[in-house]
Structure 1
Amino acid sequence: MSGLCAKCVDGCTGGCETWLASFRGREVLYPGPFGDITAGAVKDYPVDYSHLNILGYARGAEGLPEGVEPGPDTAIFTNVDTTTEYGWDIKVKMKVPIFTGALGSTEIARKNWDHIAVGAAISGITVVCGENVAGVDPDLELDSNGKVKKSPELDRRIEIYKRYHDGEYGEILIQMNVEDTRLGVAEYVINKHGIETIELKWGQGAKSIGGEIKVRSLERALELKRRGYIVLPDPELPEVQRAFKEGEIKEFERHSRLGFVSKESFLKEVERLRKLGFKRITLKTGAYSAVELAMALRYGAEAKVDLITVDGAPGGTGMSPWPMMNEWGIPTFYLEALTYQFAEKLSRRGIRVPDIAIAGGFSTEDGVLKAIAMGSPYVKAVCMGRALMIPAMVGKNIGEWLKSGNLPKTVSKYGTTVEEIFVTYEELRSRFGEEEVKKLPLGAIGVYTFVQKFKTGLQQLMAGARKFRLSALSRKDLIALTKDAAEISGIPYVMESYRDEAERILEE
């Protein structure tokens, strides 16, 4: 439990966190190397989604198109409809029920944006442009009122997605925190780019504090402090500047501020954004207490927000502190159980609950199915952070390995050309044409290929449960493998699920 070796030897040359913190201090709090890593918590929670299983049946077929008679020739897994939609009045459709986590101001998000955003666009899913993108833009220009006049980085991110977006499935939504609001990001993106959806951010599953990045130059640290960010250590202090120049301090941290939520301020901000012209307002909230969850659902219902993303611990990150990732917040399984209970209570009162997405540690189609079924009928999708970044990075790296001639054997066993390596390449060439497919970032092809695998796996699982569209999934399609999981989730324990119906058959 202590995290320390049972025998701590005087003279040890290193390894443990306490050893490293003894001379590198606060640097040890964060995953590294910054800009090249995504990180996730390592804590093993008592109950998670592996404690649920998906039920299969030997009869029936729900969700087939109207007029189609269920039978062996129609109830084929390739006929499963994996599309979903979210929104209060003006819906956004997605081809599969997943979308990206917020890709904000971290360096790893910036340098992989093209791959992820284009991949999302051609896959028909939503991409979230995260907080602080304009605020850390080196080429940011502010007007006389301190508002965004020009942000080339934000422009680049929006334009690359729009270039490949088909206009029918998915969207790009822009996330906004305290600093973004002060800088007028909402006004900028709607006036210049006609963005339809803005997301208010209360927090995320990886941490309860504001976002952070690392900065490795004194000039950059001073610039970000002038823009209103918290920068540590304070780059304006003479002793800090001296320590940096002498090499004692090698980097600075840029932190965002904590938000403060009240019903009045939340409703007022939603109304302000609607008056600016946004068609949809979404909310991202983190693994806070049950009170904040209740606030998000109740205030979100009153404001008629289009989607609430509930992000549980242990969320993945580009730079959240290790202790917070591992030890802070309500784990996703528990948080979704509370979300369902609260949504049911509001629904029984005749209050319409906004569409919900669940986030926090998902990477495979079985986990997504469980989350949607467990939260039925309120949960429409799952937000996946690291699981959608990985295909983008893999595809990008394959391209770099091909150029350098250093293709690893783990890849070269499938081929030595792009066409041979990516199993979906011919499909994309047929869709985009010979010349345009060559312009696709290889990371985007990686995302698309991952999404196609995800779709097929989801179709197979759903067909086994005899559900041929997502809205047909329900909590009855799950069983709890432990009594703890059953008690927390309300999903029937495996030995009790459908037991009465089974007993009646035995007694006939």
Structure 2
Amino acid sequence: MSFSKGINASAATLTRNRTPGSVCPTSGMCATCQEGCTGLCEVGRSAYRGREVIYPQPFGPITAAAEKDYPIDLSHFNIMGTTVGAQGIEPDSDKAIFPAVNIESAVGANGQIKLKLPVVISGLGSTNVASQNWEGLAIGAAISGVIATIGENVCGMDPDAEFSSGRVVRSPDMERRVKLFQKWYNGYGTIVVQSNVEDTKLGVLEYVIDKLGVEAVELKWGQGAKDIGGEVKLNSLERALQLKSRGYIVHPDPEDPTVQEAFRQGAFKEFERHSRLGMVEYDSFLARVEQLRRHGAKYVFLKTGAYRPADLARAVKYASDARIDLLTVDGAGGGTGMSPWRMMNEWGIPTVYLECLLYKYLNKLAERGKFIPSVAIAGGFALEDQVFKGLALGAPYIKAVGMARAPLTAAMVGKTLGEAIKNGKVPAEISNKYGTTLEQIFVAASELKAKYGEAFAEIPPGAIGVYTFFERLSVGLKQLMCGARKFALQYITRDDLVALTPEAARLSGIPYVMDLDAEEAERILES
């Protein structure tokens, strides 16, 4: 098995090998590096573009996720069905049908936040791709009944934000993002605002609680895509200077006259804005949670990334002691708007490994009678089988699955098709098969039109795309649960999975397929 596909060449960095059929497995370099090559691979491109090649390109219109093929992932487990019984419904063939499956969930210290689908849209913050598609994401999440998270640095990156004594007092971009969700909120899900080091210094959470009526806030320790702070690129000197003045780390230094001249001469076209590392400490963490609650936060969440096992233990312990409303654990391999490419592939604990540790740590606290927070698992989830496996692998503690790239893809595709419909330029492969109108192309449009009436015209195509995607997930998840004879989420257990390899069984404690039901099968055969 090759664990590091594309180590020195990838579509993500717009690089390739000159000899793709003959590549050194360790370095990823061509077997023969030839003088005269203009620099096609990452090493070669780095000879003239340097640090630019660290990141997936082009910044702005893309998201990226790791290519690394981890030794064990969710595909190494299968979902088990059965021919007998039903849990959560009468075992009657006329009643135990997949539309009867209940996939609603709830999170919060007292289960106050209801979800129509066990999904949290994880933090999508100040990157261009998130901002430009937020309308579809926010409205799509609200009408679908899931949680949407406004990620880090939104106020700090808002060019029109206003500050007083170093604290934000107005942010049109944050206001827009919050209100888009609030307008379409239907009693399920919630809008969450995330905070990192810079956000805390700027008073972002206090601002959104006081001025925008936000009930749920999230403290961010990190994410699965990288082990440093958030990053974006800036295409003007003015923006670079503005963000440095707001306290961000900007590279190269936009105040350096030599750097300014190089930028004007076109030596480089983008600055980088970086966020600082947080420094986790038990007493200050609990104090900050209490401070936010006193300030009016109804729900306080925590998100952590794919760090060392000891850091996961800290997250579980601190979340328990602080009675956090939702702990999101994000594994390596998931996607991002911008992360160093090699870092995204080569650092951290992959999702399955991390979730197995998470289950172990939560079990330990449960055995001691400690408070167990609602937990979401994230890191590369996109479709219904992965949602089921994520819930089952950490059952009974996992209440939702975090995803970002998949709903963002749905929003982008929905927006693109909406523009094509508006301009009369629907691609032939779509128009020939489905038609040319919104109602013909989006299979869930008629359902939304019936539900919202005249207000349907205000739902953007990006949001229709998100809703339609989630509707597919809902049906697919119900079908998988029906086959497992589990008619509500609380009945999903680890016994609903089987490991396909001995290695996956050893890692997870899930039975190897050839050992599953061995005793029961023997009893049946001998009866």
What's the TM-score once normalised by structure 1's chain length?
0.98
Is 1:163 paired with 2:188? no
Map of 1:414 onto structure 2? 434
Matched residue SS, 2:217? strand
Contact 2:81–2:484 at 8 Å: present in 1 too? yes
Is 1:432 paired with 2:457? no
* CA shift for structure 1 position 62: 0.3
The amino acid of 2:188's aligned partner reads Y
* Aligned-residue CA RMSD (Å): 0.9
* CA shift for structure 1 position 406: 2.6
User: Which residue among 272, 283, 291 is the counterpart of 1:272?
Assistant: 291
Map of 1:263 onto structure 2? 282
Map of 1:52 onto structure 2? 77
* CA shift for structure 1 position 332: 0.2
Is 1:33 paired with 2:97? no
The amino acid of 1:118's aligned partner reads I
Map of 1:458 onto structure 2? 477
Q: Partners of 1:11 and 1:63 in 2: how far apart? A: 68
User: Which residue among 151, 160, 169 is the counterpart of 1:130?
Assistant: 151
Structure 2 residue runs without a partner (length 5+): 1-25
Map of 2:18 onto structure 1? none
Q: 1:405 to 1:14 in 2, by over 3 A?
A: farther
Q: Partners of 2:172 and 2:213 in 1: how far apart? A: 16
The amino acid of 2:447's aligned partner reads E
Q: Partners of 2:137 and 2:318 in 1: how far apart? A: 32
Matched residue SS, 1:135? helix
Is 1:307 paired with 2:326? yes
Contact 1:486–1:493 at 8 Å: present in 2 too? yes
Trace 1:224-373 onto structure 2 (pairs within 5 A). 224-373=243-392
Contact 2:145–2:188 at 8 Å: present in 1 too? yes
Q: Partners of 1:62 and 1:372 in 2: how far apart? A: 16
Q: Partners of 2:357 and 2:181 in 1: how far apart? A: 35
Q: Partners of 2:517 and 2:429 in 1: how far apart? A: 46
Contact 1:90–1:280 at 8 Å: present in 2 too? no
* CA shift for structure 1 position 403: 2.8
Matched residue SS, 1:493? coil
Question: How far does the alpha carbon of each residue in 1:10-69 deviate from its partner, in whole angstroms, 9 at most, with x for none?
Answer: 1123421111111111111111111100000100000001000011000110012xxxx3
Matched residue SS, 2:78? strand
Is 1:77 paired with 2:102? no
Q: Partners of 2:27 and 2:147 in 1: how far apart? A: 42
Map of 1:498 onto structure 2? 517
User: Which residue among 429, 445, 455 is the counterpart of 2:464?
Assistant: 445
* CA shift for structure 1 position 404: 3.0
User: Which residue among 104, 112, 115 is the counterpart of 1:91?
Assistant: 112
Q: Partners of 2:92 and 2:247 in 1: how far apart? A: 63
Q: Partners of 1:37 and 1:414 in 2: how far apart? A: 27
Q: Partners of 1:312 and 1:98 in 2: how far apart? A: 16
Contact 1:90–1:279 at 8 Å: present in 2 too? no
Q: Partners of 1:361 and 1:87 in 2: how far apart? A: 24
* CA shift for structure 1 position 146: 1.0
Is 1:24 paired with 2:49? yes
Q: Partners of 1:73 and 1:234 in 2: how far apart? A: 69
Map of 1:115 onto structure 2? 136
Map of 1:152 onto structure 2? 172
Q: Partners of 1:118 and 1:261 in 2: how far apart? A: 34
Q: How many residues align?
A: 501
Q: Partners of 1:194 and 1:221 in 2: how far apart? A: 31
Out of 86-95 and 365-374, give the one that drifted further: 86-95
Is 1:43 paired with 2:43? no
Matched residue SS, 1:134? helix
Contact 1:63–1:472 at 8 Å: present in 2 too? yes
Question: How far does the alpha carbon of each residue in 1:103-128 deviate from its partner, in whole angstroms, 9 at most, with x for none?
Answer: 10000000000011000001111100
Is 1:100 paired with 2:121? yes
Map of 1:399 onto structure 2? 418
* CA shift for structure 1 position 90: 5.2
Matched residue SS, 2:155? coil
Out of 343-352 and 397-406, give the one that drifted further: 397-406
Q: Partners of 1:404 and 1:240 in 2: how far apart? A: 43
* CA shift for structure 1 position 405: 3.0
Contact 1:120–1:448 at 8 Å: present in 2 too? yes
Q: Partners of 1:378 and 1:504 in 2: how far apart? A: 32
The amino acid of 2:214's aligned partner reads I
Q: Partners of 1:243 and 1:204 in 2: how far apart? A: 34
Out of 90-99 and 251-260, give the one that drifted further: 90-99
Question: How far does the alpha carbon of each residue in 1:175-201 deviate from its partner, in whole angstroms, 9 at most, with x for none?
Answer: 000000000011110111111110000
* CA shift for structure 1 position 419: 1.2
Question: How far does the alpha carbon of each residue in 1:215-274 deviate from its partner, in whole angstroms, 9 at most, with x for none?
Answer: 010011000000000000000111101101111121100000000001111111111111
Q: Partners of 2:108 and 2:34 in 1: how far apart? A: 59
Contact 2:39–2:47 at 8 Å: present in 1 too? no
Contact 1:101–1:128 at 8 Å: present in 2 too? yes
Map of 1:201 onto structure 2? 220
User: Which residue among 189, 203, 206 is the counterpart of 2:208?
Assistant: 189
